[in-house]
């Protein structure tokens, strides 16, 4: 397994609005509305976790991405042939 470290951060936000946030609105737009638009927004929590190569490979797959995004194999080893 690679000796590199990876990090997962989960940021929880609370949004108050006069109307429901539309389904499918992307997070960037929600944040923009919270900063300069019609929503009131605050960050509730930051949860940070250190991952090893194998955990990073699994997390990338769960995102619908590929371990190759961080130049890893599915086993969390360095894949310098990508």
Give the pLDDT confidence score for residue 82 in this predicted structure.
57
Which residues neighbour 69 within 8 Å (Cβ) at sequence distance 6 or greater? 60
Give the pLDDT confidence score for residue 81 in this predicted structure.
75
CA distances from 45 to 13, 14, 48 (A): 7, 10, 10
19: its two tokens: 């109307």
Which residues neighbour 47 within 8 Å (Cβ) at sequence distance 6 or greater? 9, 10, 12
* Mean pLDDT for the chain overall: 95
- pLDDT tens digits for 31-65? 999 999 999 999 999 999 999 999 999 999 999 99
Give the pLDDT confidence score for residue 1 in this predicted structure.
84
């Amino acid at each position: 397994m690679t000796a590199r470290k990876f990090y997962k951060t989960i940021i929880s936000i609370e949004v108050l609005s006069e109307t429901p946030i539309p389904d499918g609105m992307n997070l960037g737009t929600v944040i923009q509305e919270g900063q300069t638009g019609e929503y009131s927004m605050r960050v509730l929590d930051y949860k940070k976790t250190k991952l090893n190569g194998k955990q990073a490979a699994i997390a990338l797959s769960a995102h619908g991405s590929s371990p190759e995004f961080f130049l890893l194999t599915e086993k969390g080893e360095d894949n310098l042939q990508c």
